[in-house]
Amino acid sequence: MKWKVFLATICLLAGIFLLDRVLFYDLYFQFPNETEWDSSPWYNFIYKTKSLQKEKNEHRTIITGSSVALYSVLPDLLNQTKDRKTKYDFFSHVAMSPTDLYYYKETLRSTNPDLVVYLHNFADLQWEYLDKSENRFTFQEDVWVQQLADRYPTKTIYPTQFLKEYGYRISRKSFSKLATKSLFYVSRFRVFFWDPIVVYIDNHFRSGRKYHLYQGEIPKEGIWSKGWTKEVATISCTEQRKRESIFLQKPNTELTFRFYSDETSLLAKTPSVSTVKTFTKSGWVDIRWNELVGKENEWNIVQIQVGSNVPSAKEVNLIRYGKDETVGIRLSHFFCKRLSSENFAYSRRSFWDDTRFIQMSDSEFRDEYFERMIKDSGNRNELFRLHIVREAKKTVNTVRFEPWTEYNRILEISDYFYQSKIPFVLVLSPENPIEYAYYQNSQWRKDWISDLRTNLEKRGQILIDHTDVVKDVRYFFDPHHLTYEGASFYNSIFSKSLEPYFSNQKTESFQEKP
């Protein structure tokens, strides 16, 4: 009887492990991914990794790093260029530290890269764990280990590897939590399990009034990422549904709708139908096109103008600090556009959040930047980590460079790809000149770069310093993240810097296979 109970228990446990593997690691990621940008970063990272592992039929360059990498280059545009010699893909998520990448290195190798490009930044080096002591930094490794055990990447992606290295140094509670996550994928993935399902339901069975990033047609005047238009929005309506939804911030808002048959009539300012409507209530309302334009009139372009009670960006919580400006109405998720089932989690679109900066003068931007990113940053929760990094840039002017654990991870990553015979390039990403000036001429930075370059060159690898190649401050959203326009500008600099490497490879130019 004891043997029967023992065997039954073993079979039950084996069945649970098998079900967990099949259901939560394999079948779960067959579900369509319609999540957006950083709305579910850990799910998107695992989904993207599994996609890369499935198929490869071209020379592949993997761009890895934190959100700095995600906001620095636009692989979608790079992959559209003629005579390209590689296909660029992201292996990246928000807040990816060198230690994260160290634990991902085997997984990254499994995506079959022909070249790994690590877009790295000063901010990636976990400065919150470095304290100044006399003329040197002291790394608070015990604090770092304890907090690393509670980070989402550790709990979700590499709990087993972390336990092998640091299990004896963490609390019992953290150990038992990570041990459970090492055994069961359902325990790891429960933090984001419903994300793709809820998004799919919202996209296909609801009104499109709840979303993370706007995915509809872009008005000619631009649009904010949350779907707010400017006072006037001119939209080419490629998908004419019977009704669409718009959000009004204030009651008694007057809207003028002008309908045009084509671009010629728009340029001539001769609408086929023009109508004015006042909405007495605020909030989401339905727009029925036939009631406005009539069944008999054909149209392809609609222009919507707010005539009264114009709200501002601060009123609708688009921005909290800096220069305010007027907005119009908020459009539903896929306004005037067919719902796309394409996975666009790692694609980026141009929104007015970024574009507005390039419209400012240099001095206007600097004033706006101070209000938005620097003023009282030590007491603003959303800016606290950026404040720590900024203070570290000031502090390195008075200390000598010495390697520490997080820095050494980069060298270990470099060595791993050297041993694996996979070319590895470290690119220091562009920094906002306003913030770069804090430590640009420090001896610490010179020694940091020198040590990195020396260690890479020993292995025949390359360090490319692009810290100051983007000199227009208006191309930066914050200290380290480029706007869409900034990334478009940097794209060609980035790709050209890799051309000497590709010219030495036995690769042929090609276009994307259908």
**Mean pLDDT score, 230-253:** 95
Of 366 and 10, the one with more pLDDT: 366
pLDDT value at 508 more than 50: no
Highest mean pLDDT among 53-57, 81-85, 207-211, 324-328: 324-328
Residue type, 467: T
> Has residue 329 got a pLDDT over 70?
yes
pLDDT at 389: 97
The candidate with the shortest Cα–Cα distance to 178, out of 188, 169, 168, is: 188
Strand ranges inside 172-249, DSSP E? 232-236, 243-248
Residue 161 is predicted with a pLDDT of 96
Residue 509: the pLDDT is 37
Percent over 90 (pLDDT), the chain: 83
β-partners of residue 132 are 137
Average model confidence (pLDDT) for the chain? 92
Q: How would residue 4 be classed by pLDDT, with cut points 50, 70 and 90?
A: low
The pLDDT value given to residue 9: 66
What pLDDT is attached to residue 507? 42
Tell me the CATH number for domain 216-339. Answer: 2.60.290
Nearest CA to 345 out of 47, 27, 57 is that of: 47
- For residue 513, pLDDT over 50 is answered with no
Quickly tell me which residue has 């490629």 as its tokens. 238
Long-range contacts of 447-456 (CB under 8 A, 24+ apart): 447/400, 447/401, 448/401, 451/401, 451/403, 452/410, 452/426, 455/411, 455/414, 456/414, 456/424, 456/426
* pLDDT over 90 at 510, yes or no: no
The answer to which of 79-83, 179-183, 315-319, 324-328 has the lowest mean pLDDT is 79-83
Q: Residue 6's pLDDT is what?
A: 62
The pLDDT value given to residue 38: 79
**144-180, pLDDT tens digit by residue?**
999 999 999 999 999 999 999 999 999 999 999 999 9
Q: Quick one: average pLDDT of 293-322? A: 93
How many helices (H) and strands (E) in the chain? 20, 14
The amino acid sitting at 474 is: R
> Mean pLDDT across the stretch 382-397?
95
pLDDT of residue 86: 92
Q: What is the DSSP string of 324-349?
A: --B---EEPTTTTSPPP-S--TT---
Position 16 scores a pLDDT of 75
Exposure string for 282-317, b = 16+ CB within 10 A, e = fewer: eeebebebeebbeeeeebbbbbbbbeeebbebeebe
User: Do the Cβ atoms of 477 and 483 come closer than 8 Å?
Assistant: yes
Q: Enumerate the CATH 2.60.290 domain ranges in the chain, comma separated.
A: 216-339
Q: Which CATH number fits domain 37-131+345-502: 3.40.50.720, 3.40.50.1110, 3.30.2270.10, 2.30.30.30?
A: 3.40.50.1110
The token pair at 449 is 């770069």
Give pLDDT, residue 70: 95
**344 pLDDT band (50/70/90 cuts)?**
confident
Query: Residue 505: what pLDDT?
Result: 56
Q: Is the pLDDT of residue 255 over 60?
A: yes
Give CA–CA dist 65/53, Å, rounded.
18
Position 230 confidence tier, pLDDT thresholds 50, 70, 90: very high
Tokens of 251: 């009651």
pLDDT value of residue 2: 67
Residue 83 pLDDT exceeds 90: no
| pLDDT score, position 459 | 95
- CB neighbour list of residue 6: distance below 8 Å, 6 or more residues apart: none
Task: Work out the burial of residue 219: count CB atoms within 10 Å of its CB; fewer than 13 is exposed, 13-18 middle, 19 or more buried.
Answer: buried
Q: In residues, how long is the chain?
A: 514
